Amino acid sequence: MPEVEIRVATEDDVPLILSLIRELAEYERLSHEVVATEETLHDSLFGQRRVAETLLAYLGDDPAGFALFFHNFSTFLGRPGIYLEDLYVRPEFRSAGVGRTLLVRIAGLAKERGCGRLEWAVLDWNEPAISFYKRIGASPVSGWMVYRLTGEALEELAGR
């Protein structure tokens, strides 16, 4: 099997990124929540105000997965961090080192950029991912719950 190659996504990769996001959403049983378009992704990843970065993983010529992440900030550490929004490996490439290679690259970026932490969320039913994260030394953050405002609730709070 060929070695995993990781490369930084370019504007030409937007259709592939959107396709991988849709595959991830299907796996997570959340396809109904995907409203991203090539245009919105392009603006967010490559527009004037770039808010996230994407790495693509390849095995040979085949796109095998991706990681999408952005910087956050820890007031307690007084340093930036990296939040991994999505990590996805296509089913036919799982157990080939793709996920680990993506995480190694992101951990390296966090170190290079002086980040104090790398964090992400995982669905509580996703046992394969949870087992993988434990094997690489990650641990759940106990005592914290994620809250979210979207749609009508966000609009209402913002005062429309």
| Per-residue pLDDT reduced to its tens digit, 115-135 | 999 999 999 999 999 999 999
| The predicted structure's pLDDT at residue 81 | 98
* Catalytic-role residue among 27, 88, 133, 147: 133
pLDDT single digits (tens) 132-156: 999 999 999 999 989 999 999 999 9
- Does the annotation count 133 as an active-site position? yes
Give the range of the structural domain holding residue 21, as residue numbers without chain letter: 4-157
CATH number at residue 129: 3.40.630.30
Starting at the earlier edge strand, list the strands of the sheet with 62-74. 4-8, 53-59, 62-74, 79-89, 118-120
Residue 19's Cβ-count burial label (10 Å; 0-12, 13-18, 19+) is middle
Say whether pLDDT at 85 is over 80: yes
Q: Phi/psi at 82 (nearest 5 deg)?
A: -120, 130
**Token reading at 6:** 């990781």
Report, as an integer, the average pLDDT of 84-97. Answer: 97
Structurally, how many domains does the chain consist of? 1
